[in-house]
Structure 1
Amino acid sequence: MATFVVLVSWTEQGIRMYPETTQRADAFAGVLEKLGARLVSIFWTIGPYDIVTIVEAPDDATITAGLLRVGALGNIRSTTMRAFDRAEMESIVAKATAG
Structure 2
Amino acid sequence: MPTYMTSFVYNGEGWQKLAKNPEDRSIPVKALMEKLGGRLISMYYMAGDYDGFIIYEAPDAKVAATAVVAVGLAGHIRTLKTSQLYTVAEATEVMGNAGKLAYPAPKG
Please tell me whether Structure 1 or Structure 2 has the larger radius of gyration of its CA atoms.
Answer: 2
Runs of 4+ with >6 A deviation:
none
1:13 counterpart letter in structure 2: E
Alpha-carbon separation, structure 2, partners of 1:20 and 1:36: 28
Alpha-carbon separation, structure 2, partners of 1:49 and 1:82: 17
Q: TM-score, length-normalised on structure 2?
A: 0.83
How many matched pairs? 98
SS class of match (1:17): helix
RMSD of equivalent CA atoms? 1.3
Partner of 2:10: 10
Going from structure 1 to structure 2, the CA distance change for 1:45 and 1:21 (only over 3 Å counts) comes to: farther
Aligned residues with identical type, % of pairs: 28
Alpha-carbon separation, structure 2, partners of 1:39 and 1:71: 17
Deviations 1:10-68 (A, max 9, x none): 0122111113441x321111011110111100011111111111111121101110111
Alpha-carbon separation, structure 2, partners of 1:89 and 1:31: 28
Q: TM-score, length-normalised on structure 1?
A: 0.90
Partner of 2:80: 78
Structure (1/2) with the larger helix percentage:
1
